[in-house]
Amino acid sequence: MFDRQKKGDRAVLVLPHSRGEGDTTRRGEEFAELVKSAGAEVLGVVAARVEDPNPRYYIGSGKANEVAEAVLALEADVVLVDHELTPVQERNLEKLLNVRVVDRAGLILDIFALRARSHEGKLEVELAQLKHVATRLVRGWTHLDTQRGGLIGNRGPGETQLELDRRLLGERVKMLTKRLEKVQTQRSQQRRARLRNTVPRVALVGYTNAGKSTLFNALTTGDVYAADLLFATLDPTVRKLEDLSCGPAVLADTVGFIRELPHDLVAAFRATLAEARDADLLLHVSDAADDERERLHRVVDKVLDEIDAGDLPQLQIMNKIDVAGIEPRIDRDAAGKPVRVWLSAATGAGIDLLRQALGELLGGERVQSALQLPLTAGRLHARLKAAGAITGETVDEHGWQLVIDAPRSVIAPLSGGDAAETRLLRELLAQPE
């Protein structure tokens, strides 16, 4: 076996592709950007056509030998493969190449570990990394078949080092899971507090490097780090959004999405992505200058479906119009409702149009009215209060006099009581805004 290096930043890239993929140039460029985000230097690229994956190396044996020659000639210390490898394939390639081999999932996890800043983000990344490593413990270690034993008082087969490592890893996973559950509880309490304040919630989503963080900074007084790197920011940031015709709102910046995001990472970041799942409106940011924006849009929608946010209302934001040479504008549907805003977060062109669209959408989706509830409608009163829909109330012998101010999407599902309560809710929702 080879000796592992603590750091490997001289890389040879392996780009598998199949006949049906069409133009693979964009995919290769994106993988190179991932490598750049990880801080590695690309020495060479080997394209490998894979129609029937080789169970030993994933790529063919001839292509694997070609990669080995490139590694020797370029003196690389890591090979990065733009595909998910099985533990066996990864181990076999490392034996053949005598350098570290990292697949796409491992590379993305490494970038997330590099970018995470908050306590919650670090816990989520480490948990995802440990789950990824759990099936790969055997690779890269030469002592895992040795057994404790042979000493007086400690004879017998003992416990293999591999079993020890797996047990320790399992204990670490349990500990991280408990810590993360505690942090998630705290974050959910913060979200419930925002619900009680009846402030509309808006979340930025989109493919990584679409300009979400730049747009966040342009809309708020936030100072979120923004750079021309994939996954430049990971941790969610929430700021107050003011100067809207509908009143203040809350804006959240979330992690960027990417194709073939590791499953463990999506699962671990459910808490972070809950900012998107709990939003009243999603701002789906796309790069207007990107010819493949429709395909990337579908990738984002797929991840939103995975976190149960696929059915939330969306406003499409076509960013970077300064690069595409497009004038700022609002696209509307047949009913006059804003569906798309063209802008440049970098120059500020069209930001005022986005504020206008947000005011229309959030204002039109809120119920602001007085409501008289009889004392017999205690269950409905409790549901309205729990949903944060009541902003003021008085009570006398006739019942509650309530002031309601909440998103229509919060009030509408509260029916389900008796017929009288259902009628009261319907009358409330039917009142003009």
pLDDT per residue over 169-187, tens digit each? Answer: 777 778 877 877 777 676 6
pLDDT per residue over 338-396, tens digit each? Answer: 999 999 999 999 999 999 999 888 875 667 788 888 888 888 888 888 777 888 899 99
Last residue of a domain, one of 345, 364, 383: 364
Q: Are 302 and 261 in contact (CB under 8 A)?
A: no
- 121 domain-assigned: no
> Predicted confidence band at 325 (pLDDT cuts at 50, 70, 90)?
very high
Q: Is the dihedral of CA 365, 368, 372, 378 positive or negative?
A: positive
- 233 domain-assigned: yes
- 79 domain-assigned: yes
307 and 406 in a single domain? The answer is no
289 and 220 in a single domain? The answer is yes
What mean pLDDT do residues 79-103 have?
A: 91
Last residue of a domain, one of 333, 364, 395: 364
- 71 domain-assigned: yes
- 229 domain-assigned: yes
Last residue of a domain, one of 321, 338, 364: 364
- 128 domain-assigned: no
275 and 383 in a single domain? The answer is no
216 and 311 in a single domain? The answer is yes
288-297: long-range pairs with CB below 8 Å, 24+: 288/318, 288/319, 288/320, 288/321, 288/323, 288/324, 288/326, 288/342, 289/320, 289/321, 289/323, 289/324, 292/26, 293/318, 296/207, 296/210, 296/259, 297/207
352 and 371 in a single domain? The answer is no
pLDDT per residue over 260-314, tens digit each? Answer: 776 666 665 665 566 677 788 899 999 999 888 888 888 888 888 877 778 888 9
CATH code for position 356: 3.40.50.300
Rg from Cα positions in the chain? 27
- 132 domain-assigned: no
412 and 358 in a single domain? The answer is no
86 and 50 in a single domain? The answer is yes
407 and 352 in a single domain? The answer is no
351 and 203 in a single domain? The answer is yes
Residue 349's domain comprises 199-364
More confident site: 98 or 242:
98
> Is the pTM higher than 0.95?
no
The number of domains in the chain is 3
Q: Are 329 and 342 in contact (CB under 8 A)?
A: yes
- 194 domain-assigned: no
105 and 204 in a single domain? The answer is no
218 and 357 in a single domain? The answer is yes
- Say which range, 146-155, 309-318, 327-336, 413-422, has the weakest mean pLDDT: 146-155
284 and 401 in a single domain? The answer is no
Q: Is the dihedral of CA 285, 296, 87, 95 positive or negative?
A: negative
